[in-house]
Structure 1
Amino acid sequence: MPPRRQQTKVLCVAEKPSIAKAVASHLGGGQVNTHNTGNRYVKNYVFQYNFPAWGECEVTMTSVLGHLVSRDFESRYNNWRACDPSALFEAPIQTYIQDDLKPIAENIKSQARFAKYLYIWTDCDREGENIGDEIRQEALKGNASLSQPNRIFRARFSNIERAHIINAACNPVTLDDAQANAVYSRIELDLRIGACFTRNLTLSVQPLFHQHFGNREQGLISYGSCQFPTLGFVVERYLRVRNFVPETFWTIKVMHEKEDIKVNFRWARNHLFDRMPAVILFERCLAARIARVTKVQTKPTSKWKPLPLTTVELQKCGSRFLYMDSSRVMTVAESLYTKGWISYPRTETDQFDGGMDLRALVQKQTQGGPWAGLAQALMNGGFSAPRNGRNNDKAHPPIHPVNFVEPTQLDAQERSVYEFVVRRFLACCSEDARGSKTDISILYGTETFNASGLVVLARNYLDVYKYDRWTSSQVLPDFQEGEVFEPTEARIQDGKTSPPGYLTEPELIALMDANGIGTDATMAEHILKIKERNYAWVQPRGRRPQGNDGDDEAESGGEAPPAANATRGRRGRGGARGRGGRGGGVEGPGRGATTGVQEFIPTTLGVALVEGYENMGFEISLTKPFLRKEMELKMKAICDGQRTKAEVVHETIEQYRDVYVRTQQRLNVLRDAVRKYCLGPIEAHNG
């Protein structure tokens, strides 16, 4: 009897244990043997699978826990006072694997020893390519023969639905080294720039607190090239509110009652800030006595259905409609993704690929939930192709449900996010809302006044997308062009301009997105960081922040109250291990689930840092988005093959080195700002 042919061995490595378990279940068809490893969270799943290119194989599926490799400066740079912080711009960086992750690395090396192929199943984005490269390097330490051509591949997938996973297993692609290098560049730059400016900030400002408070320690004052521009947006809006001076304006109000319907006409000029011209124009209206209808126009109108869902839009809507901060929204969305209910929640794409069977996805949502009947209506002829946005990252489709789950099987926050994703998707596949709009213009004296009325004729997508509002206004009476009448009421009225509101999280995310601060994957982390560092805090919109002196000026229409106090920062660099921007929010004040739209209030330390750097008068400020936006564009250039990692790192370091040198020359300006905002009477800080 001929000897049994030895099976080809394939090592598959996922980014997280939940993905490894799901993929093994789909590919193994229920015939999976599970083995423990040196890490209690990571398992090895062994099963048989017939890959089209390799035939019947023995597969070991395992995982990492995000990034394997950490980076830091050599130990001789640990003493902050032993060298100038600027030395960190070129100090040697060492890579290492932390002790608790070494069993995971050893598991990859040992499992790779007898494998002919390495198949990487990390998330299909820039960070996933980088983690995939770390896995590749560890596997090569265990089996150098894997370096031969066509031995290492990666799976391209955007959800863990069974058919999708099988398709990914049958169509391997190669790792994108350019994207991996972009992440290596970002990691090195963030380490060097963050450590240099953090040490400089702490060593320069910390002694002021020691002198003022004695033994009370301020702690670390951290800098981040995304963190500070994010804080800058918060402080800029806060100062606009605080420095706002109301202005008096005058407007003309005209009302006419016809057919028992009161119609309010809006002045085309809206308002004037000079009383005398407003009075003169008003008197001309009264002198004319008669108003004449100059335009009556009725035309169809629509309220467009929403675009397919991107990560940035999910974060903004999560804060606005679900009352959850961006970090928590992304944590919940990641959980729904790993459980197989929604697609990958990190995407810039707002276009569905023409080859996707969207009707099949709609059909799944007819199984239950409060939207089941609306989904069935789409299947019965109401389906309409989604709108296409302008963005396509060529990696993942828009966020959408991939399977139906009975909402009662989810916890409250999962249910809220899942329902939003489902309703958004069904809205995308519905018709636009339709209505009829009537516009009327009148000439009264020399002035034009307008009125409009809306009748909603077909709600369409609004029936499922409860987060949008579009309602009929009061029906206008019948007016004819050329008709004249004497207005029932005309009066001149004064008012005052109102300050802008404090910055809300949806507004902050929109500013970060428009200015290139972070990526869709990291914005939530940067927002969380300014709260963790005590540079800003959040409160429900409409609540007045508690200042040092407890004044009530904001409620009387005067200037806003002072920023909240912050006399101590946090120690250490902080941050959970794993992917940048992928950690979950911490429940507590200002984080996790909230009870309404939140607005950001900077602490006194946050205001002092921003104003200090701004007062230095440099064209390129550390609290403005320009430097970081340029860095993000360079990362994209690496991904596109237009720049190399070495070029980008060198060029960016030189930019920040120049800013550092000029900042050192004006450190007294920063210290003055800290004294002004943070070092008032000790009694004020004790509260």
Structure 2
Amino acid sequence: MKQGYMLIITEKPTAAATIARALGNGKRRVHEKNGVKYYEISRDGKRILIAPAVGHLFTLKQLSNGWNYPCFDVDWVPAFKASRKSLFSKRYHSLLKELANGASEVVVATDYDEEGEVIGYNIVKYFCNDKHVRRMRFSTLTKRELEESFRNLGDIDLNLVEAGYTRHYVDWYFGINFTRALTNALKNFGDRFAIISTGRVQGPTLKLLADREREISHFKPRRYWQLLLEVEVNGERFKAKYAKEKLWSNSIVSELRKKISTSATATVKAIKRRKLHLAPPTPYDTTTFLADAYRYFGYSPTLTMRIAENLYQRGYISYPRTGSQKLGKIDYKGVLLALRNSAYGKLAEKLLAQSQLRPNDGKKDDPAHPAIYPTTELPKSLDQRQRNVYDLVVRRFLACFASPAIRESISVSLTAGGEVFKLTGSRTLELGWMEFYGKYAEREEIALPELKVGDHVKIIELHVLEKFTTPPKRYTQGSILKEMEARGLGTKATRPQILQILYDRGYIVGKSIEVTKLGMDLVSILEEHLPLLISERLTRDLEEACDSVFQGKKRREDVLTQAREIVIALSKEFKKREKEVGKALCKALKESEKKLSEIGICPLCGGILRIYHMRQRGTRFVGCENYSKGCKFSAPLPRIGEIRPTGKLCEACKTPVVLVRRKGRRPFRMCLDVNCPNKWQRKKRGN
């Protein structure tokens, strides 16, 4: 490779292709080495190579051997040397190292945030020696913004690098050291080995979820009654609610029933109408965006972010990791003019016809990036999930420029037997922004008949509903992100990752998040023996310290010294209790494994069916725990895949139905009777 060129380093391969296309005016040569594509363009007489990283090419790793703790002997090393899971990055590492060696100048074009700055800085630090390094900053990968960014190259933000370095080291100190402490305690005093992980944000988040789980389990339902008065108006029937929503005494209900039974009609005593002006939604920040994608589509935060990053790297939406609810000085009109040539054309035309374009900006701001918005680049080919996420981003953008929606609420007070009941209705008078937001703005329309004060309506029946109070709802993957943000746990970039780790470790399950027995036991053990480790306050203080490094108010080494002192103190305290913790973890793990092995009820004796493993043969089967008492029920299971009980019985053979999940293949359900006539049909249909 001829030397003396400019090298542009991107964070991902897709971004490299997009930047090469934009800066090369559509003309680019594609090179490939060891399966990694990079690009060559010519601009202003200058030869330019654009090559990708693949996320972090360097990671923190302990330099010495052993699993002792506390350990602070850590530094940056190539990611492929630190973990077998990162071996794929070696090809990108080798390519960038070679290309950097021959470059006369280097431009970092990774994402402009803390992680992107660390990724770019490390590549420069370890590959580029004393070469002149500049920085491209952009919020979209559109041709216009990329060209402007290239014309106005800046420098690497060293404050952002320092803050990123601080956060990485602090997370390593807490996560690695106390994962080792828990794992060693289990191994040394529990006579078994399993990775028991925790971390600076992971621990407090799990405790937050566990606290909700306790609220639910300790909740005692209380019985109450509701009264609904069914009336008829012009041949239509409506149900009016009793003015007191909950009645706690059955004797009061009986008295009310008697009073109302003497009336054949109810009288209209008052009619109240109220207009509500509903402001447009604010532009999307990351947390609200991820929560809405879960709410509307059921997509996990990790999945939504992966889709959004792909849309961003292809130039279709702005950078999706932002804390801002403000659109700032972007080209509103340009985006709308582009959208005019899409399926959103009529909506864009309506906004362009307004005398001014002013978004309903929210309070939150981010100095690095504006709120999430669609770019002037229109998508050419999207799969269904990508279309859904793109549609959500576009409609949110359009809606925030529109006028308020006007709704009318109507309340009709009826009296029967001297008691007051209320009919309530609502309707939309002016759609405003709701027209632009489409299905995401759907509100219930409840039409009431035309009535006036003094009218009498026929009573059909008094309905008495017996109900029970319900416990607090479990967090969803959307609501927990908002709660984490409100409590200062993690960052916009790390919260989805933390949540995914808790799932992967088996501490939580389900879309409506339920903490497993292992997760609950781990929180209980840490509360008893190491409460500071799951303290929200400690996490917030360290988070604020990292922010102070970015602001230039604190030095990285001062924050790390503080973090090391805390880890040393906690480690000393933990070692005093290591034996107790190890035994408690062993007990928790055994009980958790026993619980997880349960499949259902034995059809022969009513005992519990469990999964048993034959290690030497590499097989597993379902057997009854009453085998020693003479029960002979058993059934084979697939060798590969995760087995989950469904809580259902096969209609044909009455054995439990299980769900089988295998990586890269569609999950399917199967019953346990190998001779069941429904077995293969059930397997074929999947779930």
Normalising by structure 1, we get a TM-score of 0.76
Q: Report whether the alignment pairs 1:61 with 2:50.
A: yes
For residues 644-655 of structure 1, what are the structure 2 equivalents within 5 Å? 644-655=555-566
- Indicate if the aligned counterparts of 1:14 and 1:64 stay in contact, CA closer than 8 A: yes
Deviations along 1:248-287, one digit per CA (max 9) or x if unpaired, are: 1234444554444545443444224355666678878889
For residues 153-302 of structure 1, what are the structure 2 equivalents within 5 Å? 153-206=134-187, 210=191, 218-275=193-250, 295-302=270-277
Q: Report whether the alignment pairs 1:40 with 2:59.
A: no
Which residue of 2 is the match for residue 348 of structure 1? 323
Q: 2:404 aligns with which of 423, 426, 432?
A: 432
- Indicate if the aligned counterparts of 1:456 and 1:471 stay in contact, CA closer than 8 A: no
Which residue of 2 is the match for residue 24 of structure 1? 20
Pair 1:324–1:242, CA change in 2 (3 A): same
**One-letter amino acid of the structure 1 residue matched with residue 397 of structure 2:** F
Which residue of 2 is the match for residue 604 of structure 1? 517
Task: Give, in angstroms, the shift of residue 328 of structure 1.
Answer: 1.1
Describe the SS at the equivalent of 1:352: coil
Q: 2:545 aligns with which of 610, 614, 634?
A: 634
Task: Give, in angstroms, the shift of residue 232 of structure 1.
Answer: 2.3
Q: 2:113 aligns with which of 114, 117, 125?
A: 125
**One-letter amino acid of the structure 2 residue matched with residue 59 of structure 1:** I
Q: 2:63 aligns with which of 34, 54, 74?
A: 74
Task: Give, in angstroms, the shift of residue 358 of structure 1.
Answer: 1.7
Q: Flag structure 2 segments of 5+ consecutive residues without an equivalent.
A: 82-86, 598-609, 612-687
Structure 1 CA distance for aligned equivalents of residues 572 and 263 of structure 2: 69
**One-letter amino acid of the structure 2 residue matched with residue 637 of structure 1:** S
- Indicate if the aligned counterparts of 2:517 and 2:592 stay in contact, CA closer than 8 A: no
Q: Report whether the alignment pairs 1:472 with 2:445.
A: yes
- Indicate if the aligned counterparts of 1:535 and 1:606 stay in contact, CA closer than 8 A: yes
Pair 1:363–1:669, CA change in 2 (3 A): farther
- Indicate if the aligned counterparts of 2:490 and 2:543 stay in contact, CA closer than 8 A: yes
Structure 2 CA distance for aligned equivalents of residues 491 and 636 of structure 1: 58
Structure 2 CA distance for aligned equivalents of residues 681 and 475 of structure 1: 54
Q: 1:417 aligns with which of 362, 366, 389?
A: 389
For residues 365-514 of structure 1, what are the structure 2 equivalents within 5 Å? 365-369=339-343, 371-381=344-354, 385-403=358-376, 405=378, 409-441=381-413, 449-464=421-436, 465-480=438-453, 493-514=465-486
Q: Report whether the alignment pairs 1:528 with 2:500.
A: yes
Describe the SS at the equivalent of 2:480: helix
Describe the SS at the equivalent of 2:61: strand
Task: Give, in angstroms, the shift of residue 181 of structure 1.
Answer: 0.9
Describe the SS at the equivalent of 2:57: coil
What fraction of aligned residue pairs are identical, expressed as a percent?
Answer: 25
**One-letter amino acid of the structure 1 residue matched with residue 552 of structure 2:** G
Deviations along 1:43-82, one digit per CA (max 9) or x if unpaired, are: 2x333323xxxxx53333323222232221222xx322xx
**One-letter amino acid of the structure 2 residue matched with residue 314 of structure 1:** F
Structure 1 CA distance for aligned equivalents of residues 149 and 496 of structure 2: 29
Describe the SS at the equivalent of 1:606: helix
Q: Flag structure 1 segments of 5+ consecutive residues without an equivalent.
A: 1-5, 51-55, 211-216, 539-597
Task: Give, in angstroms, the shift of residue 529 of structure 1.
Answer: 0.8
Q: 1:331 aligns with which of 306, 313, 320?
A: 306
RMSD: 3.5
The answer to which of 425-434 and 271-280 deviates more is 271-280
Pair 1:68–1:478, CA change in 2 (3 A): same
Q: 1:622 aligns with which of 533, 537, 562?
A: 533
Q: 2:489 aligns with which of 494, 503, 517?
A: 517
How many residue pairs match? The answer is 589
For residues 5-24 of structure 1, what are the structure 2 equivalents within 5 Å? 9-24=5-20
Structure 2 CA distance for aligned equivalents of residues 207 and 286 of structure 1: 73
**One-letter amino acid of the structure 2 residue matched with residue 204 of structure 1:** A
- Indicate if the aligned counterparts of 1:285 and 1:445 stay in contact, CA closer than 8 A: yes
- Indicate if the aligned counterparts of 1:534 and 1:603 stay in contact, CA closer than 8 A: yes
**One-letter amino acid of the structure 1 residue matched with residue 560 of structure 2:** V
Q: Which has the higher strand share?
A: 2
Q: 2:338 aligns with which of 364, 384, 397?
A: 364
The answer to which of 187-196 and 649-658 deviates more is 649-658
Task: Give, in angstroms, the shift of residue 167 of structure 1.
Answer: 0.8
Task: Give, in angstroms, the shift of residue 330 of structure 1.
Answer: 1.0
Task: Give, in angstroms, the shift of residue 390 of structure 1.
Answer: 1.0
Q: Which has the higher contact order (CA 8 A, sep 6+)?
A: 1
Structure 1 CA distance for aligned equivalents of residues 400 and 347 of structure 2: 13
Describe the SS at the equivalent of 1:679: helix
The answer to which of 437-446 and 630-639 deviates more is 437-446
- Indicate if the aligned counterparts of 2:327 and 2:361 stay in contact, CA closer than 8 A: yes
Task: Give, in angstroms, the shift of residue 231 of structure 1.
Answer: 2.3
Describe the SS at the equivalent of 1:301: strand
Task: Give, in angstroms, the shift of residue 491 of structure 1.
Answer: 6.5
Describe the SS at the equivalent of 1:221: coil
Normalising by structure 2, we get a TM-score of 0.76
Describe the SS at the equivalent of 1:300: strand
Deviations along 1:447-489, one digit per CA (max 9) or x if unpaired, are: 7654432121233433443123213202243233x88989776
